[in-house]
Chain A
């Protein structure tokens, strides 16, 4: 994150998301630093649209998700799932792929290797 500074004033470059534990630590820390000068105001944020994170994909759909040459928008159109759902599925898979490449030094030198890895992972789930 970036804290913007101009003379003796600072601002956040963009809002920060915190989990409940982080919020508690942040609030206590701010009170310690700024004492009574700090004021917390709760605001209601719009709810996020419902996102189903555990979607089952059929055998026909797996090759499309695993083909990284096809962009998320096109995969979404072809299999009728939201772009967000495809992003989530691919994001988790790619993180696994990266970890495997890091830890096991496994070669992903060709598109075929990558495709096979992603399809294997998709089958496991």
Chain B
């Protein structure tokens, strides 16, 4: 028997949380599930390997996320009113409305992609299929973002560095051009002219590299948007996390 106290945090805005994971016997767990099922829908129990750290209601910045899964998307679309959705899902009314805006918009796009009218897709089976697809889309988008995060950062840093180098090259080109002008028909002038030309070539190479990096950056962004819109799956996108930009 574990005699540790169970601390429940009651936020002033109505958000409820455990202070930390709690010990429960099978009997008490069943009773707790009955209690939650009487208040909310859907309530699912999921076995995990460990409890990950997460922000809780009492954390200083209170920037916790309410996670949504296929069951919640399905319920949002099946609920008879905003009020019902909010109460059963355990979210504030306003959150239910903004979530509906997103989920119903996605649902309409999904129907369109299937070449169907929304009115012919409001049966429970179609809504269930949509909710499953939407969960996959969100997971794919998140995964793609994680996969490309490092490359994106490298591209951004490299672009910044190239801009700095180009700025310096431009200054050096001006200096050498002036030097060449001031020392026309002399060895110093000719050297300066050659130096300016060589710097110009270097600048052109860097501009080309910059353009390639920007192109890749846009490709990643477009892939992400397409995955998020359900127009591309992670498999179809033939994702290559490029190594060529590594430092």
Q: Which residues of A contact B (CB under 8 A)?
A: 1-6, 8-20, 22-23, 25-27, 29-30, 32-34, 37-48, 51, 53, 68, 72, 84, 87-88, 90-92, 94-95, 97-98, 101-102, 105-109, 114
Contact = CB atoms under 8 A, between A and B. Distances in A.
Contact of A5 (B20, B35, B45, B98): B45
Looking at chain B's contact residues, is the secondary structure mostly helix, strand, loop, or mixed?
A: mixed
B22 interface: yes
A87 B95 CA distance: 10
Interface in B5-63: 5-25, 28-29, 31-33, 35-36, 38-40, 42-51, 54, 56-58, 62
A1 B12 contact: no
A92 B12 contact: no
A33 B92 contact: no
B117 A107 contact: yes
Contacts of A3: 33, 36, 43-46
Contacts of A16: 15-17, 40, 90
Nearest to A105: B119
6 contacts: A1-B72, A10-B32, A13-B67, A32-B31, A37-B5, A40-B7
B22 A9 contact: yes
A39 B8 contact: yes
Looking at chain A's contact residues, is the secondary structure mostly helix, strand, loop, or mixed?
A: mixed
Interface residues of B, number: 79
Contacts of B62: 45-46
A39 B6 contact: yes
B100 interface: yes
Interface of B: 2-25, 28-29, 31-33, 35-36, 38-40, 42-51, 54, 56-58, 62, 64-67, 69, 72, 77, 82, 86-87, 89-92, 94-95, 97-102, 104-105, 107-108, 117-119, 122
Contacts of A106: 119
A19 B104 contact: no
A91 B46 CA distance: 30
Contacts of B72: 1
A44 B60 CA distance: 10
B104 A94 contact: yes
Contacts of A22: 39, 87, 90
A27 to B, nearest CB: 8
Given A8-B23, A17-B90, A88-B98, A42 B57 contact: no
A43 B58 contact: yes
Contacts of B47: 5-6
A17 B32 contact: no
Contacts of B118: 97-98, 101, 108
B13 to A, nearest CB: 4
Contacts of B56: 15
Given A3-B45, A94-B108, 20 more contacts: A9-B21, A9-B22, A9-B24, A11-B18, A12-B18, A15-B15, A17-B66, A18-B15, A18-B90, A19-B87, A25-B39, A27-B8, A39-B5, A40-B10, A43-B12, A68-B105, A91-B98, A94-B100, A101-B119, A105-B119
